[in-house]
Amino acid sequence: MENIIFDIADAIDIPELIRLRIAYMIDDFGSITEYEEKCMREQLPEYFGRRLGNELFAFVARAEGRLVAAAYLLVIEKPANPFLPNGLDGEVLSVYTEEAYRGQGICTQLMKNLVAFGKARGLCRIDLMATEEGAPIYKKIGFEDKVQKYVDMRMQLLEK
């Protein structure tokens, strides 16, 4: 991990965050359509502009003058309940490391930084949905399989 700088992204990093987000989607889905990429390129600058540093925090690794990895923490305030006494919940999104930088502990360090930040911010918990490749990394730093009392459901409103 020589020459890797870890920090939290800010507005100047938005073009790089968009590049990594699209790379993540291609890696995760195998490919994306031109339309899907166009939609992301249109929506993401404004989204990151509004949310970055407020409720969205991008933990990044820098090398060679660019971002090579990112992990997002979305802080969500909900009504307090027995599991969230202060209402603060976190969700990890889009953890991605460029292929040339994988296997060097970068993701592990990003996630440790993200968890430390969440603790310092008073989050009650942090959730994530892991890929098979990512699950061992997350378990190594303390994430556990989620046991749910409720059935996880969704209604798709936007047709593809």
What's the pLDDT score for residue 90? 97
What's the pLDDT score for residue 148? 86
How open is the CA angle 76-16-128, to the nearest 5 degrees? 30
The model's pLDDT over 32-89, given as tens digits with 9 standing for 90+, comes to 999 999 999 999 999 999 999 999 999 999 999 999 999 999 999 999 999 899 999 9
Nearest in space to 23 (alpha carbons), one of 110, 98, 132: 98
| Contacts by 52-55, CB closer than 8 A, 24 or more apart | 52/9, 52/10, 52/11, 52/14, 52/17, 53/8, 53/10, 53/11
Task: Classify the phi-psi angles of 65: left when phi > 0, otherwise alpha if psi is within -120 to 50, otherwise beta.
Answer: left
Reduced to 3 states (helix: H, G, I; strand: E, B; else coil), residue 106 is helix
Mean pLDDT check: name the lowest of 1-5, 121-125, 135-139.
Answer: 1-5
How far is Cα 149 from Cα 82, in angstroms, rounded to an integer?
A: 14
% of the chain with per-residue pLDDT over 70: 99
Answer whether 0.85 is exceeded by the pTM.
yes
All structural domains of the chain: 5-140 (3.40.630.30)
CA distances from 155 to 32, 90, 152, 159 (A): 22, 22, 11, 11
CB 52 within 8 A of CB 58: yes
Beta strand 66-77 pairing with 5-8: unpaired
Q: Structure tokens of 15?
A: 């073009």
